[in-house]
Structure 1
């Protein structure tokens, strides 16, 4: 059932707009030592919350976040394109060209911190309907104490480039990451290797 359930979950996630979907285990992220070194060098700046003992423990071990965790669903959703962005729905092409200033592609359209969690919740509802009951879970989209690029690489979504971004062979780094920690055994995907 694990393999067919994993396939069904991936299909549902893709239906909800996640182009990239993979599964990994809740093992310690392979780059945790690099993260610790980054913190010891003070690279977190004023973001002191990153270096608290509690946050470090959670980043080192997903089971500190969800003790029942058996699998992690890693997901990637492409940034909205300027042509489809709500920010330009009522703006003529000439006005688009004359605008000054540049806005990062991920910031076009609705706030992904609001859009993605709603879709993650829909995936959890789907999973619980498939298994016939509640499944312990926790989801994040760049807001939780996890090393999401490591998880995504381990789930086969891409590789971590020299720029430290996760890179997919055809999408580059133009996608948003999200994760769902699940108290459910699912067959993990192979890590992405270059």
Structure 2
């Protein structure tokens, strides 16, 4: 698998572009649509397989601590991306998670032939994966793409998607899946409320 490939998207939505696809794949390693999803990182071996599929093998054994740190970062990124819908500033606790991960991140700069600079991990294994995810987030913050990365607000979802709309107005990972379900629930709740009043 290509390191930056975010995988299949709900309803054929356009995936996050370029290296931002790694952040999307990282956050979407757990997707629980209506409780039917599965966590690819349910154990350290699963997290190790996910890393190896993206070229972060290095022969290192993945520990339970590595898995827990990755899940903490994954969930912090998801909460931050949920705030992108309304321009809500990240919670201080989520910034602590990002800063803690950044302190152990072996990250370096590499200058490309076109003169641009990108972040690259200076090691391999679990720490390198977290480093690259953080480096790509930093790049996306700098060029304005990070605010387009949103977490679906649908109950039992949280899928990270890339809002490629001109006015950045997309709300759901898929209107057909989460959007219609939420709107249907809201309609039924309003209907029940109206019947109780009558």
Question: Which range, TM-score by smaller chain?
Answer: under 0.3
Higher percent of residues as strand: 1
Please report the TM-score for the alignment, with normalisation by the length of structure 1. 0.24
Please report the TM-score for the alignment, with normalisation by the length of structure 2. 0.24
Higher percent of residues as helix: 2
